[in-house]
Amino acid sequence: MAGPAHGQKQWQSYGGSPGGGHYSPLTQITPANVAELELAWEHRSGDFRSAREGAAGSKFGERDGPRPQSAMQVTPIVVDDTLYYCTPFNRVFALDAASGRQRWVYDPGVETDPVALTNCRGVSSWKNPVPAGQACDHRIFTGTLDGRLIALDGATGKPCENFGRGGEIDLREGLGEHVRSEYGITSPPAILGDLVITGAMVLDNRRRDGPGGVVRAFDVRSGELRWAWDPLPPGADPELADAGQRYQKGTTNVWSIISVDTKRKLVFVPTGNSTPDYYGGLRGTLDKGLDYYSSSVVALDGSSGKVVWHFQAVHHDLWDYDTPSQPTLYEIGRDGKTIPALAQPTKMGHLFLLNRETGEPLFPVEERPVAAGDVPGEYYAPTQPFPSLPGTLVPETITPDTAWGLTPWEESACRDRIAAARWQGIFTPPSVQGTIAYPFQGGGNNWGSPAID
């Protein structure tokens, strides 16, 4: 059973509800009539740009000029009768949900040079539980590629001036010196009561001391920092290199979508990998390294940001497997009792089902021995977790016979490449010889999360 999609005919959160689930109770569209659907309206932002368009330019707000390739990865939300979405360059549109007519657009003026990734997966909505009939009683929150968290009036699109500085917070504050293009927000923030909670995307395969992956909660009205979770091993203190740094560099980040359990006041964050992705010899040790919380789902106390529990899907991740999907909250019946559960997909195709109050697996998880490597300075996790149920979502084996090509010559060359590379299962570590990464870092499952019916 999924948690209710609040709003019924609406879609007020990225995943349909604060805990994901992607469930809608609507019944108008059925298998019998889906083939008869016709286009009702379409809206073009002008911000999508493919690599084939060259560098001559594309329309971006009122500014013309070269723009990098972009990707349309957004899931719109619908609140009351308005559809809200963000473009790859962080412009936010409000449209009449029935007609597609534009009500307003907000342009944060993101500088696209230098920006390494150009996508925005969604925005978030907060409504004042005691409306005062004032501006910003309804707020739309959005993050930007250049590391800002912005609050907009849901009715007009104007910045909420009492939030942070003129409607925005610079999330780069506290990170210390870093390369600007290596930090930004691509996923919508989470809302829990009067808190707006966000992590960030960190390009984690560039350098050892990349920006830290701190998760922060701010007051939805004032923008005041309420808590921060710096993903360091228990008992560790951050190493601060300069006066402007408050958070550890090189830690795991939370680039994907956060879930919240509004009843239990729990925040569930899916963590990425520590930097650099494919070499972990500089992270510390297996039990107290900078990747202690990497490639995990971590439950935080929503009032304090303190860790309640964590479950690691990959130990000492050397493959950039991450934990890419929004944790999906649901309820399951067992022995006459209702268990609050959480489903966590992974890039390996594994699906871990956990008790979301304790982090304990609902079905046995086996720690299986995996291959080690011989890269100088590297160390390796001796085992990795494999769920007994449900079965894997993708094949876990690749052989030369798996090869495919448009021509026999291509297929033969591919077969030879597979045969020459090292392969001892999905956790075969990187090697000097060359290792097959399968499934590769794209998944498996990526930021798209499961639906609960």
* From 204, 320, 401, 416, the catalytic residue: 320
- Torsion sign, CA atoms 276, 277, 278, 279: positive
Both tokens of residue 238? 């951050």
| 320 assigned to active site | yes
- For residues 292 and 307, give the distance between their C-alpha atoms in angstroms, rounded to a whole number: 12
Query: 152 pairs with which residues across the strands?
Result: 140, 159
How far is the C-alpha of 159 from the C-alpha of 172, rounded, in Å? 19
**Interatomic CA distance for residues 294 and 313, integer angstroms:** 9
User: Which strands make up the sheet holding 351-355, listed edge to edge?
Assistant: 328-334, 337-345, 351-355
> Which pair of tokens denotes residue 183?
């930090």
* C-beta of residue 270 within 8 angstroms of C-beta of residue 344: yes
Give all strands of the β-sheet with 148-153 in edge-to-edge order: 124-127, 138-143, 148-153, 168-170
Phi-psi region of 411 (alpha: psi -120 to 50; beta: other; left: phi over 0): alpha
Sheet containing 102-106, strands listed edge to edge, beginning at the edge strand earlier in sequence: 77-79, 82-86, 92-96, 102-106
Q: Are 439 and 322 in contact (CB under 8 A)?
A: no
Cβ–Cβ contacts within 10 Å for residue 281, how many? 12
Nearest to 125 by CA among 271, 4, 7, 263: 7
What CA–CA distance (Å, rounded) separates 218 from 258?
A: 15
Closest CA to 254 of 202, 306, 305: 202
* Catalytic residue positions, numbered: 320
